[in-house]
Amino acid sequence: MAAVGVFPVAGRGLHLALKPGKKPASIEGVTGAGSLGAHGAAHGVLYGCAVDVRALANDAAYAKLIREQCRILVAENAMKWGPLRPAVDKFNFDEADALVAFAEENKMKLRGHNLAWHRDNPRWIDATVTAANARQILTTHIETVAGRYAGRMHSWDVVNEAIEIKDGRADGMRNTVWLRLAGDDYLELAFRTARDADPQALLTYNDYGIEGETPEAEQKRQAVLGMLRRMVARRVPVDAVGVQAHLSALAVPASGTGPAYGDGMMRFIAAARELGLQVFITEMDVNDKASPANVAFRDAAVEATYKRFLDLVLADPAVRAVLTWGITDRYTWLDRESARSDGQPERPLPFDADYHAAPAFYAMRDAFDRRKA
Ligand code: XIL
C-alpha cells in the first residue's frame, strides 16, 4: 500500500492529500485523443508550449512529445532580437525558420515572441540606437521579422513587459531603450507597423506579474489596462493580451502563505474582454522554489496551482489559448535562471525530466475538460 501523506498548508486551511503514483481520472493514455492538445481543442483552448529549437533538432523524444501534445508553438528564444539580429543590418533566421518549418509540417499554429522587449537584446543596441535612429531600427525590425512570416502566424507578442511600476512613472511605463529613444508612443508605432507587416496575426501585448492577489499585482494590472485602454481609444491595432503566468506553487508551508489567484485576475480578464481583446495564457509554469525537497509534496503543490489557476481563468470565454513555457522539466529555464537553493531540479511543467506525464499534466487536462467551450 502506498502511503498517503497529508500536509497542512499554513494560513490557507488547505490540505494536500498526496497519493504517490496517482493514476489519471480517465483510462485513456496521454497521447492522441488523450493529449493536452486534443482535450484543449474539445473545449475551446489552444494548447501548446515554448520550444527550445536546439533541443528540437537534437532530442528526438522531445520532438515526439511536442508533436503528440501541441497545437501551437512559440520559440523560447529564437525569435527574440538577440538571436535574430546579430548586427543592426544583419538578420539570422536559421533557428526561427526551423521552428516555423516544424510547426507547419505538423500542422500546428505559431506564436511569435517578440518584437520589442527590454531584455535579450543584442549587445550592439546600446551603442547603436539613438534618438535619431530608434524609430527606424524598430520599424525595420518589425517589418523584416513579422513580414517574413506574414500570414503564417496565429499571433505575435508585439511588445513584451512594457509596464514596471518601480520605474516610477505615473503611467507605469517601464523605462526601456525604446521608451527613452523611440518615444512614449513606441507601442503605438510597434503595433501599427506589425499590423501593416502581417495583417492576419493577432497582435498581442504580453506581461507578467499580473496574476496574483497582491497589491503589487493589482497595481500592475491597472497600469496594463490603462495602457490598453489608451491604445484602444487611439485605434491602435491590438487584438489580445498575454498573461505569462509564471506562477509560484501555492502550498508553501515554509513561508506560511503562498500567493493566491482569484478575483483580481478575473476582473482583469473581464476588462480585457470588454475592450474587445482575446486573452492568452502565454508562458505558464509553476516554480516550486519555496517548497520542501520532497518530490511528491512538490508535485502536489504544483498540481494544485495548475488546477486553481486554470479553473479560474478558463471560466472566462475570452481565454482562448494556454501555452506552457516548455513542456518537460528537463529543459526548464527556471533551473537556469531561478534555481532552488538546495540544487534540486524544479518540477514546473506537465512532463517530468524523463518525459512522463506529471500530476500537472492531469491537472491541466482535467481543467480543460471542465471548461465549457
Ligand atoms: C526566457 C527564456 O526561457 C530563457 O531561456 C532566456 O534566457 C531568457 O528568457 N518572460 C518572457 C520570456 O517573456 O521570453 C522569458 O524567456 C521568460 C520570462
For residue 72, the cross-strand partners are 48, 109
Instruction: Name the residue of 211, 285, 333 whose CB sits within 8 Å of the most ligand 1 atoms, as the mutation to test its pocket.
Output: 333
Give the span between the Cα atoms of 124 and 172, in whole angstroms: 27
pTM recorded for the entire structure: 0.92
CA distance 249 to 290: 8
Instruction: Ligand 1 pocket test: pick from 117, 160, 204, 325 the residue with the most ligand atoms within 8 Å of its Cβ.
Output: 325
Provide the residue-wise pLDDT of the chain in tens; the chain has 373 residues. Answer: 333 333 333 333 333 444 445 554 544 699 999 999 999 999 999 999 999 999 999 999 999 999 999 999 999 999 999 999 999 999 999 999 999 999 999 999 999 999 999 999 999 999 999 999 999 999 999 999 999 999 999 999 999 999 999 999 999 999 999 999 999 999 999 999 999 999 999 999 999 999 999 999 999 999 999 999 999 999 999 999 999 999 999 864 444 454 589 999 999 999 999 999 999 999 999 999 999 999 999 999 999 999 999 999 999 999 999 999 999 999 999 999 999 999 999 999 999 999 999 999 999 999 999 999 7
Q: What are phi and psi of 215, to 5 degrees?
A: -60, -35
Q: Is 168 left (phi over 0), alpha (psi -120 to 50) or beta?
A: left
Rounded distance between C-alpha atoms, residue 18 and residue 5, angstroms: 5
- Nearest CA owner, ligand 1 atom 16: 76
Residue 260: predicted pLDDT: 83
**SS3 (DSSP) at 49:** strand
Place of cell 501585448: 205
- Residue recorded with cell 528564444: 77
CA 62 to chain centre: 19
**Residues lining ligand 1, CB < 6 A?**
76-77, 120, 160, 208, 244, 283, 333
Residue nearest to atom 13 of ligand 1 (CA): 160
Q: 338 is written with which cell numbers?
A: 531561478
